[in-house]
A and B are shown apart, each in its own frame.
Chain A
Amino acid sequence: MYNLLIGGAAGQGIDTTVSILEKLLRYSGYNVFTTRDLMSRVRGGHNFSLLRFGIEPIHSHSNQLDGIVALDEDTIELHTNQLKDTGFILGDAKLSGFDPRLIRIQMDAMAKVLGNPRVSGSIAVGAVLKLFGESLDNVRAVLQAFVKEPYLDINVKAVEDGYASTETHFSHLHGVYCDQMLISGSKAVALGAICAGLRFYSAYPMSPSTAIMETIASKADKAGIVVEQAEDEIAAIHMALGASYGGARAMTGTSGGGFSLMVEALGLSGMAEIPLVVIDVQRPGPVTGLPTRTEQSDLKFVISASQGEFPRMVIALRNAYDAFYQTMRAFNLAEKYQIPVILLSDQYLGDATFTVDPFNPEKIQIMDPMSEYTENKEYLRYHYSENGISPRLVPGKTEQLVAIDSDEHDERGWITESAEVRTQMMDKRMKKREGLKRELQEPLFIGDNDFETLLIGWGSTWGPIEEAVTLLNKDTNTRYGALVFGDVYPLPVKQLQEKAAKAHHIIDIEQNATGQLADLIRQETGILCESRILKYDGRQISGEEIVERIRKGAVQ
C-alpha cells in the first residue's frame, strides 16, 4: 500500500489532478481511498489530498507518506516531516529545498512548451505513474471524463511527457482489475436517494453538504427529480415537508448551522407525521466554526432537536456503502413510521473517495404511501392504531380529505385542546418508538473476539478505528475489539451490553470535545466508557494516531 499527498494552493487544480490520478489507479486494479483537506477559500491558502492505494482494502487515511506531489513550496514545508525516508517529493524544477528525496522535473517549462500552463497537473500525474511503475494504458479514457475535447490531446501528451521525465522509484504492486465503484460519501448519499425514488430535494448551499445537492441536481432531469435551492434552510425543510405531504418523496440536506434553522420544522414532521429525510453533514461548530473541516459534534443536538417529544431515527454513516444503503433505508423508515429520519455524515466522509462494490438498489425494497382507502369507515388521518402508525393518504389522490396540523389534533387532524385526546395522541405517536427499536441495526464489531480492550465509535471514524484495531492486534500482548455504531438513536444496546460485559477496559473514540456517544451510552445503558480519545481540531483522526494515543496512554 502506498500513500501520497498532493498539495498546493486553492485554484491550482489539485482536486482535478487527484481525481484523474485516483481513477487511473482504480483502473490499474487498486483499492483507492482519498481524503480532502480544504481551506474555506476559493484562491490561495494551502489545500491537499491524501491518496492511498494498494491491493488490500483501504478505509481510511494515513499521515505517513510515501510521496509528496508539491504544486507549491508550502506543501514541501508543511508536509516533509510526514515523509518516510524511502519517500519522494515531486515538484517543479523551480521549487527550492535541499531534501535529498526531492525529485525536480521541469513541470512548468514542459507545460509552456506544450502551450498551456494549466497542464502541469497532468505532467505530475504522468510522473507519479512512472514513479510507481504503472502503465499509460488508460490515460486517454480517463482524461476524457475530466478534460474537454479541444484540450484532450495536449493533456494526454502532458501525462506522457511527465511519464518520460522520471524513473520508477517503487516496486510495482500489480493490481488486478475488477468492477468496483470509486465514489465519495456525499455522492453515494445522492445515489442512494435517487435509487430510493427521491422526487424532491430542497436545500440551501452550505459546506460541506452542497455536494449532495449538486450531485442530485446533475442527475435530476434524467431521474425525474425537482431540485430547488431554497431562500434559506427554513424554507428548504418546509418545502421538503410540503412535497412529502403532497406525495413526492422528499429530502433536505445541510450542515449543523442550517440544521439549527430547520429545528422547528423537524418537530412538524414529528407532530404532523410527515415522512422526511434530513442529512446533516457535520462540520466543527459552534456557529460558523471551521466551515470546510470535520467533526462529530452534532449527535446530542440532532437526537434532541426541537421542542416537545416525538419519535425520530438517527443513523450515522460510516462509509460509502452505508451512505448508499442507509440513505435508501432512511426513506423506508421515514415512510413506514411517518417520522423524520436524520442521517449524520461529516466532511471527512462526505468528501472522501472510497472503493466499493457496485451498489445494488434491488437490495432494498422501497415502500410507498397508501394509494387508496377501501375501508368502509370514515377516513381518519391520525387513527389510533396498535403500533401508532395511521393510514397516510396523499391529498387529491382519493376523495378523502387529508388534514395535518402542527397544533395538537384529533384523529381527523383537527385542532383540539382535550386533555384526553392529547394524551391518546401523544401515546399513539410515541408508540412508534417500539417499532423503531425492532428495526435497529447493531453496531459493527471489528477485531478479536477474545478482546480485553473494547474501542467504541460511530460514523466516519469506522475506517480509522478498523485500521487501529488491526495495528494494535499485531502486537500479541493485548487483544482489541471495537464496536462502531451506525444506528445511534434509538441506541441499539444488545451487542453493546454483551461486549461491554466482556471488556476489561472501554475506550470511546470521537471527533468531539466531550464524548457525546459515550454520554448517550451511559444514559441509555449505564455502561461507562472509562477512557475517551477525543479530537476536535477539525482533522480526522487516523488509525496510527489512535494507536499512538492508546500506547502513550494519552486518553482522557
Chain B
Amino acid sequence: MTFVVPVGPQHPALKEPEFFKFEVKGEEIVDVDIRFGYAHKGIEEALQRRDYKHDVYLVERICGICNVVHTTTYCQAVEKLAGVEPPERAKYIRVIILELERIHSHLLWFGIAAHQIGFNTLFMLAWRDRERVMDLRELISGNRVTSATNTIGGVRRDVKPEQVSTILRGLDELERSAEYYIDLFSSDRTILARCTDVGVLTKDDARKFCAVGPLARASGVDTDVRSDHPYAVYDKLSFKVITEREGDVWAKSIVRLREILESIRIVRQAIKEMPIGPIRTKVNIEIPRNETIERAEAPRGELFYYALSNGTERPERVRVRTPTYANFASIKRMFVGGTVAEIPIVMWSIDPCFTCNDRVSLVDSRTGKTFTLSLEELRKWRL
C-alpha cells in the first residue's frame, strides 16, 4: 500500500512555489509527480508587448538570483538579430559580473545544502562568504542583486581602475573559503554519510532526459556552454569544465564548489586582460525580420533563448528555457528508490529556484484524512 505525501505548493521560505506529490511505500519513494505554474508570470507574452530596451528590464526579473545571465543572453540574442557586436571591454565586464553571479549563486546553494543536512554552522559560514561577493557586485554594478549592468550593445557601467584592488582582495578571501569547503566536503564523515549515493542520476539518464549544468556535469556529462559555444570572451580565457562521475548529491556539491574556484580564476584573468575602450555601441532597435538562438551557462546550467524580430521595435517572439525547467525531466530518476528523509537534500541538489520543505501535508490514501507536518517535524523525521 502506498501513501501520498504532497510537498508544497506553499513555500514562503524561498521565492518560487511548486507542488510535488510523492508516492511512498513506508519510507521508500515509489513515484513523484510535479505541478508547476504557481508563479507563472506570462513573461514570454509580456516580452512581445514591449520594445527591445524595455524587455531588458523584464528578462532581468525572470530570476532574482541569476539575473545577469538572463540579460546577457537576451542582449546577445538581440545584438545577433541586429547584427551588431558589443565592444571588447563590455564583453569582459559581462564575464566578470557573470562569474561573480555564479560564485554568489553557488555559495547561496551551498549554504542551504548545508542547512538541509543539518549543518547550520556551515550555512552561516557560506552565507558570510556570499556577502563578500555581494559587496563586489555592489561595487561594480551599484546593486547587490539585480545588477542592471547589461544593455543592448554593451554594458551601462565600467569597472574603474581604483576598484580592481578591492575585487582582487575579495577574490583571494573567497578562494581560501572555497578551498576550505572543498576540503570539508571531501573529509567530513557526517557530510559524506548524508550525501554519497543519495539522489543518484546516472550518466545515461542525464543525457536521455537532457539534464543541464552542474547536475549533468556531476553525472559525468561534459557539457558547459562556456566551452562548447564560447560567448562574450570565454574563448580567450582559460578554465576547466568540472565533472564528476558519481551523480550523487556529493558529486553535485563538489562540482559547484570547484566551479567557484574556476570562476575566481576567470575573473582574475578578465580583470588582467581587459582592454581599455568604449563599453557600449549604439543599436537601432528597429530590427528587420530575422531569427536567432542564443545560449549561456547560467549557474544552474544552460539557459536558452530563441528570438524572432519583425522589423519593428518589438520582438515578434522571445522564447526562454531556463535551466531548472530543463532539469525537471530527470527529477524522477533521482527520487524513486530513495527515502522520505532524503527529499529535502535531493530536491535542493538540482539547485531549483525554490525550496520545498517548510510544510508537508500527509494524506492517508485509505481514509482520505489529511494531516500536516511542520518544518520542525520534517527535520525530526530525517534525523
Task: Report whether chain A binds chain B.
Answer: no
Q: Which residues of B contact A (CB under 8 A)?
A: none
Q: Which residues of A contact B (CB under 8 A)?
A: none
